[in-house]
Structure 1
Amino acid sequence: MNRKKKLNSIFDKRIKRMNAKKNTASKPKYISKAERARIEALEQNNESQNTVVTEQ
């Protein structure tokens, strides 16, 4: 019985690992604070350019 139990536990662990790799994280990739600030500055710059173009 011990041999059967050990084989089943190994098989179960293997299945858990395969499922964990298959189901990747659903949360978004981490973006640093500096990167977020840079992106926000670029967006604000683009918005200001768009308003200048539409005013002319």
Structure 2
Amino acid sequence: MNRRKKINQLLKANAKKASAKLAPRSKPKYISKADRLKLAAETSPESVVSSES
């Protein structure tokens, strides 16, 4: 592989990584298991109170 091709390959790879970083994320942000339990605990008492009435 000649020097010019190798340099161009590195530049293309770096440009590809940079554009991938700027692209919008399709995955939702990770929420830890403890945080999910807290959120569930906050929402469940409201629904329990409404169902008991």
TM-score range, shorter chain: 0.5 to 0.7
State the 1:27 CA deviation. 1.0
Structure 1 runs not aligned, ≥5 long: none
* Aligned positions, number: 52
TM-score, normalised by the number of residues in structure 1:
0.64
* In 1: Cα distance, 2:7 partner to 2:33 partner: 47
Structure 2 runs not aligned, ≥5 long: none
TM-score, normalised by the number of residues in structure 2:
0.66
Provide the identity percentage: 38
Max radius of gyration: which structure? Answer: 1
- What is the Cα-based RMSD across aligned positions, in Å? 2.3
